[in-house]
Chain A
Amino acid sequence: MSVLRRGLALALVLGCCAGAIGARADSGLLTELQSSHVKITTGFTGQHVFVFGSTARPGDIVIRVTSPDETQALSRKSRVGPFWIKRGKTRIERVPGLVYLLSNRPLDEIADRAVLERHGLTFHSTLAAAHVDAESAQGYAGWQAAFERLKQKQGLFRKLESDVRLEDGRLFSADFPLPAKLPIGPYRLDVYAFRNGVLIARHESTLRVDEVGVERWLSRVALQHSVTFGVLFTALAVALGLSLSMLLRRDRIRRA
């Protein structure tokens, strides 16, 4: 599979270069996604996304995948008498739901921390635009560390430091797994080319992550037409409860 994919990548990249189609940055950084649409169906259990591209000059490649900004609620437990309970929650606005940092070798070896920070290539720097409700933020100083830790535990903030494969210095490919439970919307895929610790090129592309089919229809109906949904679904539950019990009972009587 991998050989096939690499072959495909190579063919496509060469095709792109030759025909100058695809996305081109000033400095000759090219990227393509094998599929730019991740479809979430009822049976969705995660999916691999395959990225490939080429650079004009050999160097290091870092790919940052981010889901759209969203609002999250962070709560903290504290002790009340003998109990540990959640005491309220703080809304954190404008934080990405998912951040993946892919590279061909450990990020620290590619560039200085300050450089990485400046280009948003650390988890901490992706939270720079976040807004915390000041009123409820008491006791949440240093929430970024907790946020990062929880996101890493959920597999939504990940560093994949050997995921980008370089082939002869100019061609690269990466293959990363998206989890089953993931934020929805247009994802950004930023590719950075570094040479001797200095950014030499950058290119951006998008990846759509959407619910499709029954899944999309159900969540849209349930959230946007919630009153109709509530009435109809409850009626369905009652009808189903009644008819299933009658059906199964008749079956039992017949067998007896």
Chain B
Amino acid sequence: MEIFLPIAHMDVNLLLVLAFGVSIGFLSALTGVGGGFLLTPLLMIIGVPPLVAVGTTPALIAGSAAAGSYSHWRLGNMDLRFGLSLLVGSWSTAIGAIYATRILERGGHFETIVVFTYVTILGTVGTITFAESIRAVFGRAAVAGAPAATAPTGGPFGWLPGQVEFKVAQRRMSILLPLLLGAFIGILNALGMGGGFVAVPAMIYLLRVPTKVAIGTSLLLMLATSTVVSTMQASINHSLDPILALTLILGSALGAQWGARMSSILPGEKLRLLLALILLAVAIKFLVGLLTTPAELYSLSRVGR
């Protein structure tokens, strides 16, 4: 069943896009990893222009992060002061990155940057997840869980200026740390990757924030950053395709509920292994594309959207 996408200006199989949404929702419900960084390259593989793929994913992330944020907010797992510091960082770089996207797209370099970024990020995350889940599946008890937040102050970054008390996170740390982390997440988000897959481990392992607070605050960060990125991608780069976004949101909501139902039955660690393999496969596909001599050197694209 073909459907015409008004902004991507192409037709796609509606059921295929719906299936992408369902898989992303399903995988993120089961593995706890949001799917933006997988969805954007999948859309590119089926021929959605990189700019539109990158511009449409944030709408989906905003939708699913809203659902997650709400329940974590009710559970009190959010450190608002910590979240706001992260947001100041992520908003600044995300806004900058969206304007940079416009310039890079005009010059014809955006696709190259997106492809290289995805090869690197998918390759790295895929390898780490693969190694972790292999250890978990084959039983040699992985050191699961966060390091206990025994020392409320100090730690490796204790010497930095601007120490601030974050109450819910039970941590005192330099405000520069969430600002910097947020700044990195902002760039990832503007490239259509969400960034929760980097934010959560960074908060837990580097900043020693309790796991629940890390997840809750990361969802808040995803929601608030993606909302701004989605709005700006639509208004500045004209790259948010409404039909594509709606189909994906619907699919992912269904997939997430399905995943939540299956979570007690399916082995989570084996699914993480599956996710790792998918990530590596996509990374390798892009890498092969970069390394092999293309049959056609030229390509055409539309101008003046």
Residues of A within 8 A of B (CB): 40-45, 70-78, 82-89, 91, 143, 146-147, 149-151, 153-154, 180-181, 211, 215, 218-219, 222-223, 226-227, 229-231, 233-234, 237-242, 244-246, 248-249, 251-252
Contact = CB atoms under 8 A, between A and B. Distances in A.
A42 B238 contact: no
Given A43-B2, A70-B304, A226-B235, A146 B298 contact: yes
A241 to B, nearest CB: 3
Contact of B108 (A75, A226, A245): A75
Chief secondary structure at chain B's binding surface = helix
Interface string B247-267: 001100110110011000000
Nearest to B8: A181
Contacts of B296: 149-150, 153
A84 B290 contact: yes
Given A72-B301, A76-B298, A241-B62, A233 B112 contact: no
A81 B181 CA distance: 32
B144 interface: no
Given A83-B291, A84-B294, A240-B249, A218 B242 contact: yes
B58 to A, nearest CB: 8
B189 to A, nearest CB: 13
B11 A233 contact: no
A137 to B, nearest CB: 13
Interface of B: 2-4, 6-7, 9-11, 59-60, 62-67, 70, 107-109, 111-112, 115, 223, 227, 230-236, 238, 240, 242-243, 245-246, 249-250, 253-254, 256-257, 260-261, 290-294, 296-305
A130 to B, nearest CB: 13
A185 to B, nearest CB: 12
B234 A233 contact: yes
Given A231-B235, A237-B59, 18 more contacts: A45-B2, A74-B298, A77-B297, A86-B109, A89-B107, A150-B299, A219-B6, A219-B7, A222-B242, A226-B234, A230-B233, A238-B63, A239-B66, A240-B246, A240-B249, A240-B250, A241-B62, A252-B261
Q: Among the interface residues A40, A44, A153, A218, which one has the most CB atoms of the partner chain B within 10 A?
A: A218
A44 B11 contact: yes
A83 B290 contact: yes
Contact of A45 (B11, B242, B246): B11
A244 to B, nearest CB: 4
Nearest to B228: A234
A234 B227 contact: yes
A18 B292 CA distance: 64
A237 B10 contact: no
Contacts of B234: 222, 226, 229-230, 233-234
A85 B112 contact: yes
Contacts of A229: 234-235, 240, 242
Contacts of A78: 297
B1 to A, nearest CB: 8
Q: Among the interface residues B108, B250, B256, B292, which one has the most CB atoms of the partner chain A within 10 A?
A: B108
A226 B300 contact: no
Contacts of B236: 226
B300 A150 contact: yes
B8 to A, nearest CB: 10
Q: Among the interface residues B6, B7, B257, which one has the most CB atoms of the partner chain A within 10 A?
A: B6
Contacts of A219: 6-7
Given A88-B109, A242-B67, A237 B249 contact: yes
A234 B59 contact: yes
9 contacts: A72-B303, A73-B303, A147-B298, A222-B6, A230-B235, A242-B63, A244-B250, A249-B257, A252-B257
B60 to A, nearest CB: 7
A242 B108 contact: no
Contacts of A233: 59, 230, 234, 240, 242, 245
